[in-house]
């Protein structure tokens, strides 16, 4: 109990003087998550004490399952104040989370917001989770061509002091119809002549900006951030009118989410399951994936059973057989990981897929030959049978080549058919390397050794 008492004291001290003692929302969320693991009652008690000006940020930092429970227990009125304090992109995310739990509560929260906030949320809700528009903020700092720098900076001060804007990196320049004309970083802005208009600045220098359309895939926007080391990017509609911006902190979350999904998918689990406290549910979800692997293992065992007489006649085969499967599986996993990762980053497309496949197959073949030679010598020295060394060497070349082919081609084929490569590739690869590896090793043994 000592540990939870310390966490509660930390929150108590902050709550007594939250205006003077700053604490990031992620730190508060981390404390609440730890408290919940030990005491549900205390968790909800202190959750309701969190000031509404930071409550929304705290909720968004909580794991999905805990956030859902928190939303259920908080009244619509308090959630409304929490949403109102958020920027438009985060406000929309929280509204969606509330709607997933309680549609009526979500409608009540939206109804409590002012008309401008309602319009912003309604616009952002039109985009799917895969589109850039779903991640943008409608709050931007823009200036017209005929405005001078001094006036723009004065406006920025007012907007910042009134908490209408935060995390500003650029001023976006627009024409009278709000078409995006360019952007200037605040770092450059303060070095320019304050009496100069933005029209003059754009005509005298290169202030073009990276931009993305609101319907662009968010993965493409993330790649643009990485390629150009951006802090923020302008989001435009189909007419090139400025509609919002996406900042680096949101893109970091996107990249982390994509990487997390990829890792969990390749292991056959998901993030929500790992925060699930119901052991039956966790066991069921993991078990369903393990059941698929069990079927592939049975298939591999069936291949082995076809050569039971061969194994009985030559015991060393049973000793060496796992090595063939293990090397093929590990080689395939290397290839698979590289391919899936490069596909996720957009480095592999239809134009260069052939080169990527060829490279991975050649690497697998070269490694197969190298380790076949090493293992052939080991088998010969171990069992004093040179032909056994030849058999395992040939089997390893075949299996590692198979692993390279399947590891390189299967993710591309699955993606072509609309299947997540990170989820399906591992099962196909494991089945192929086990069955082909065992069959090659035992069939060669039967033909050469017996």
247 by DSSP, 3-state: which?
strand
Question: How large is the C-alpha radius of gyration of the chain?
Answer: 29
Show the tokens assigned to 314: 């030559």
Distances (CA, A) of 235 to 152, 179, 218, 379: 21, 11, 11, 62
Q: What per-residue confidence (pLDDT) applies to 355? A: 87
Q: Do 325 and 211 fall within a single domain?
A: no
CA nearest 329: which of 422, 431, 441?
431
Q: What is the CATH number of the domain that holds 239?
A: 3.10.580.10
**3-state percent helix, strand, coil for the chain, nearest multiple of 5:** 70, 10, 20
Q: What per-residue confidence (pLDDT) applies to 350? A: 64
Q: What per-residue confidence (pLDDT) applies to 386? A: 93
Which of residues 79, 97, 126 is at a domain's end? 126
Q: What per-residue confidence (pLDDT) applies to 293? A: 74
> Is-contact 109 139, C-beta < 8 A?
no
Q: Do 72 and 185 fall within a single domain?
A: no
Distance CA 88, CA 95 (A): 10
Q: What per-residue confidence (pLDDT) applies to 296? A: 80
Question: Please, where are the H alpha helices in 205-247?
Answer: 218-228
- Whether 269 maps to a domain, the answer reads no
Show the tokens assigned to 367: 């490694």
Q: Do 329 and 212 fall within a single domain?
A: no
- Whether 263 maps to a domain, the answer reads no
pLDDT by residue for the chain (450 residues), tens only, comes to: 457 888 888 888 888 876 556 788 999 999 999 899 888 899 999 999 999 999 999 999 998 889 999 999 999 999 999 999 999 999 999 999 999 999 999 999 999 999 999 999 999 999 998 899 999 999 999 999 999 999 999 999 999 888 888 888 899 999 999 999 999 999 888 888 999 999 998 887 777 789 999 999 998 999 899 888 899 999 999 999 999 999 998 898 888 777 776 666 665 555 555 555 566 766 776 677 678 778 888 888 888 889 888 888 888 998 999 899 889 989 988 998 888 878 876 777 666 788 889 999 999 999 999 999 999 999 999 999 999 999 999 999 999 999 999 999 988 888 888 777 766 678 788 888 889 999 999 999 999 987
- Whether 155 maps to a domain, the answer reads yes
Show the tokens assigned to 311: 């194994």
- Whether 261 maps to a domain, the answer reads no
φ/ψ (deg, to 5) at 339: -65, -50
Count CB-CB contacts under 10 A for residue 154. Answer: 12
- Whether 136 maps to a domain, the answer reads no
- Whether 273 maps to a domain, the answer reads no
CA atoms lying within 13 Å on the CB side of residue 367: 19
Which of residues 224, 255, 286 is at a domain's end? 255
Distance CA 67, CA 76 (A): 15
Domain of 291, in residue numbers: 278-448
Distance CA 221, CA 210 (A): 10
Q: What per-residue confidence (pLDDT) applies to 17? A: 73
- Whether 420 maps to a domain, the answer reads yes
Q: Do 121 and 156 fall within a single domain?
A: no
Q: Do 117 and 163 fall within a single domain?
A: no
Q: Do 304 and 330 fall within a single domain?
A: yes
Q: Do 117 and 159 fall within a single domain?
A: no
Q: What is the CATH number of the domain that holds 355?
A: 1.10.357.20
- Whether 131 maps to a domain, the answer reads no
Q: Do 304 and 441 fall within a single domain?
A: yes
Q: Do 155 and 206 fall within a single domain?
A: yes
Distances (CA, A) of 22 to 265, 354, 438: 37, 54, 62
Q: Do 298 and 422 fall within a single domain?
A: yes
Which of residues 202, 222, 255 is at a domain's end? 255
Q: Is the pTM of this model over 0.85?
A: no
> Is-contact 449 316, C-beta < 8 A?
no
Q: Do 206 and 341 fall within a single domain?
A: no
Distance CA 443, CA 420 (A): 34
> Is-contact 442 380, C-beta < 8 A?
no
Q: Do 149 and 100 fall within a single domain?
A: no
The tally of domains found in the chain comes to 3
């Amino acid at each position: 109990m000592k540990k939870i008492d310390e966490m509660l004291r930390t929150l108590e001290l902050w709550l007594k003087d939250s205006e003077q003692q700053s604490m990031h929302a992620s730190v508060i969320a981390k404390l609440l998550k730890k408290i919940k693991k030990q005491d549900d009652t205390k968790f909800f008690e202190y959750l309701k004490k969190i000031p509404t000006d930071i409550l929304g940020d705290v909720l968004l930092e909580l794991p999905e399952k805990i956030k859902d429970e928190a939303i259920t227990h908080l009244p619509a009125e308090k959630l409304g104040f929490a949403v109102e304090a958020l920027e438009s992109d985060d406000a929309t995310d929280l509204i969606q989370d509330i709607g997933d739990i309680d549609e009526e509560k979500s409608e009540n929260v939206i109804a409590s917001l002012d008309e401008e906030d309602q319009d912003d949320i309604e616009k952002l809700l039109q985009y799917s989770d895969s589109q850039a528009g779903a991640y943008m903020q409608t709050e931007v700092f823009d200036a017209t061509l005929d405005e001078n720098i001094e006036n723009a900076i004065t406006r920025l001060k007012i907007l910042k002091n009134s908490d209408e804007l935060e995390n500003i990196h650029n001023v976006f320049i627009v024409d009278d119809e709000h078409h995006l004309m360019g952007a200037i970083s605040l770092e450059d802005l303060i070095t320019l002549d304050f009496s100069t208009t933005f029209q003059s600045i754009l005509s005298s220098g290169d202030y073009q900006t990276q931009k993305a359309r609101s319907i662009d895939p968010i993965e493409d926007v993330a790649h643009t951030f990485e390629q150009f080391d951006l802090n923020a990017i302008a989001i435009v509609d189909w007419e090139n009118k400025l509609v919002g911006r996406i900042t680096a902190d949101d893109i970091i979350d996107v990249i982390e989410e994509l990487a997390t999904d990829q890792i969990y998918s390749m292991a056959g689990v998901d993030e929500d399951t790992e925060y699930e406290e119901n052991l039956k549910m966790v066991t069921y979800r993991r078990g369903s994936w393990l059941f698929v692997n069990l079927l592939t293992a049975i298939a591999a065992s069936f291949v082995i059973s076809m050569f039971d007489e061969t194994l009985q006649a030559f015991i060393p085969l049973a000793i060496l057989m796992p090595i063939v499967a293990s090397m093929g599986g590990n080689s395939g996993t290397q290839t698979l990981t590289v391919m899936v990762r490069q596909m996720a980053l957009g480095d592999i497309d239809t134009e260069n897929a052939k080169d990527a496949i060829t490279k991975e197959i050649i690497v697998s073949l070269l490694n197969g030959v190298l380790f076949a030679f090493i293992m052939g010598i080991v088998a010969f020295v171990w069992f004093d049978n040179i032909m056994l060394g030849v058999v395992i060497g040939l089997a390893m070349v075949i299996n590692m080549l198979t692993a390279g082919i399947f590891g390189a081609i299967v993710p591309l084929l699955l993606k072509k058919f609309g299947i997540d490569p990170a989820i399906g590739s591992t099962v196909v690869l494991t089945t192929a390397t086990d069955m082909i590896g065992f069959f090659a090793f035992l069939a060669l043994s039967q033909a050469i050794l017996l």
